[in-house]
Amino acid sequence: MKKFLQEFKEFAMRGNMIDMAVGIIIGAAFGKIVSSLVADVIMPPLGLLIGGVDFTDLAITLKRATGDDPAVLLRYGAFLQTVVDFLIVAFAIFLMVKGINSLRRKQADKPAPAAPPAPTAEEKLLTEIRDLLKKETAEEGRNR
What CATH number belongs to 2-143? 1.10.1200.120
pLDDT of residue 74: 92
Q: Please compute, for residue 47, the number of CA atoms within 13 A of its CA located in the half-sphere on the CB side.
A: 18
DSSP 89-106: HHHHHHHHHHHHHHHHHH
**The one-letter amino acid at 83:** V
Phi-psi region of 67 (alpha: psi -120 to 50; beta: other; left: phi over 0): left
pLDDT (tens digit, 0 to 9) for every residue of the chain, 144 residues total?
888 888 877 766 666 666 677 778 888 888 788 778 877 887 788 778 877 767 777 889 998 988 888 999 999 988 887 888 788 778 877 887 888 888 888 877 777 777 888 889 999 989 999 999 888 888 877 776
- In 11-93, at which residue ranges do the beta strands (DSSP E only) sit? 60-63, 72-74
pLDDT of residue 118: 87
Q: Per-domain residue ranges for the chain?
A: 2-143
